[in-house]
Structure 1
Amino acid sequence: MRRRRTAPPTDLAEAPLLALTGGPAPGDADEVPPPRAGAPAPPSYLADHRKRLRGRFLRAGATALEDYELLELVLFRAIPRRDVKPLARALLDAFGDFNHAISAPAARLAEVPGVGEAVICELKIVEAAAHRLAQARVLGAEVLSSWDALMSYCKTSMAHRDTEQFRVLYLDRKNVLIADEAQARGTVDHVPVYPREVVKRALELGASALILVHNHPSGDPAPSQADISMTQRVADAAEALGIVLHDHVIVGKERDTSFRSAGLL
């Protein structure tokens, strides 16, 4: 007899909520088989604790919960019959806060005792949902009048990475964001950038303007001399083809640096 699977939520906005509250999801029966007949049920205090924590989240939102409690909510679905508070606290000890925990590379997450494939999957689902929601607020928007939303998206995508990433935001003649593409990934302190490729891609997309964005894993968004030189080369290549470079933003852990505002562009 073929087992019937639960259909995925039809509303995209439901997905992050299900991930946090530990609700049912497609494939759960495969990932976590039900207890065998006669196997002891989870202690009632665990079920009560989970019910109370979900209730607080649904009534008061994420601001009413500590970081370890938010992590517990994510872990409920990955580990349905054990106390996950110790693992939530271990993740915070390893990565510092909720944001760093969900955005940590899978290989580093796997180094934390108790973290397996199911836990990594749940954390990465939450991270992906955060990125999608932030991107939805800026894609197709006039970015110069939605600068705060754009910077929020960039921080969500890049601020907690442990290696450098270089992204180009391509804009049309009305400064509407038409594409956001990662051009290169690098090491902890360097990422290779090729101005000719940046401009070539702008022509392919029919873009009229660019915004460059990259992160500094050190957390300090101060531009290096290499950053300044590379930005000028991109600006020169773009100008030769009638493309405007609006800005280059370096994203740090707590703040960012705009080349335009700093007088570097």
Structure 2
Amino acid sequence: MGRRVDEFSESVRYGDFADPNVGHRDRLRERVRLGGFSPLPDYELLELHLFRTFPRGDVKPRAKALLARFGSLGGVLGASVDELKTVPGIGVTAAIDLKLLHEAALRLGRESISKRPVVSSWSALLGYVRVALANETREQFRVLFLDKKNQLIADERMNQGTVDHAPVYPREVMRRALELSASALILVHNHPSGDPTPSGADVEMTRQIIEAGKSLRISIHDHLVVGREGVASFKSLGLI
């Protein structure tokens, strides 16, 4: 009941019951019907989605406020529910509806790499990890566990830390690999600063995990560092 009251209060505040832009929603939908989604700027894509959350009123100020706060469409969808709620006009219902888009994108990306060897669908993998991590505000360490055919068994978050550090324990990584009967791993973590360049600590941690896997015959195919500016591959950089 409290959430409904909050959303109702936002609707009143933003004029949802006295819409000054009658017909705007229909015109925007008609543009999509005739020309598709591609020509639309990001704020209009957000508007279309917010129409479903806010059945009446002008949602353009909300859409533009979201982009201003988080910098990009990816930043909006990658933000947490609590972060989204800091934007005027966005309550818990709208925040959850926005996160639904992010979760759908993640599942589509995971599906694209789960039915064939990951190493043969590298571009799909890079797209997936960017969606998953490029806009995270805290450093997160994930592991992709692969079987003997290099097909994905699981993608799991092993740890989440601060804005610049997520502690990783090689023993825990290997323990989980054995539980899943994984033959190989791809390590993935993000740099909230945006710059994916591996640090000295990243290189040392990777070395420790590689050493831990040798006696167990578990290979480390790569370590991907994700930032808003791109994805750095340890293998491509000659670090593995």
TM-score normalized with structure 2 length? 0.90
Q: What is the correspondence of 1:210-229 to structure 2 with a 5 Å cutoff?
A: 210-229=185-204
The aligned amino acid for 1:90 is A
CA distance in structure 2 between the aligned counterparts of 1:85 and 1:258, rounded to whole angstroms: 39
Partner residue in 2 for 1:243:
218
3-state secondary structure, aligned to 1:63:
coil
List structure 1 segments (4+ residues) > 4 angstroms apart after TM superposition.
29-33, 41-45
Q: Unpaired runs of 5+ in structure 2?
A: 9-15
3-state secondary structure, aligned to 2:67:
helix
The aligned amino acid for 2:144 is L
Judge conservation of contact 1:70–1:98 (CA < 8 Å) in 2.
no
Q: 1:142 to 1:62 in 2, by over 3 A?
A: same
- Structure 2 residue 119 is the aligned partner of structure 1 residue 141: no
| CA RMSD of superposed structures (Å) | 2.0
- Structure 2 residue 156 is the aligned partner of structure 1 residue 181: yes
Judge conservation of contact 1:56–1:64 (CA < 8 Å) in 2.
no
Q: What is the correspondence of 1:1-265 to structure 2 with a 5 Å cutoff?
A: 46-265=21-240
The aligned amino acid for 1:142 is P
Deviation at 1:84, TM superposition (A): 0.5
TM-score normalized with structure 1 length? 0.82
CA offsets 1:175-222 (integer angstroms, 9 cap, x no match): 111111111111110001010111111111111111000010101011
Deviation at 1:96, TM superposition (A): 1.2
CA distance in structure 2 between the aligned counterparts of 1:131 and 1:57, rounded to whole angstroms: 24
Judge conservation of contact 2:19–2:58 (CA < 8 Å) in 1.
no
User: Per chain length, whose mean CA-contact separation is higher, i.e. which structure has more relative contact order (CA < 8 Å, sep 6+)?
Assistant: 2
% identical aligned pairs: 51
CA distance in structure 1 between the aligned counterparts of 2:76 and 2:190, rounded to whole angstroms: 18
Deviation at 1:59, TM superposition (A): 3.8
Q: 1:135 to 1:58 in 2, by over 3 A?
A: farther
Judge conservation of contact 2:67–2:73 (CA < 8 Å) in 1.
yes
Deviation at 1:63, TM superposition (A): 1.5
CA distance in structure 2 between the aligned counterparts of 1:148 and 1:64, rounded to whole angstroms: 24
Q: Unpaired runs of 5+ in structure 1?
A: 1-28, 34-40
CA distance in structure 1 between the aligned counterparts of 2:69 and 2:161, rounded to whole angstroms: 23
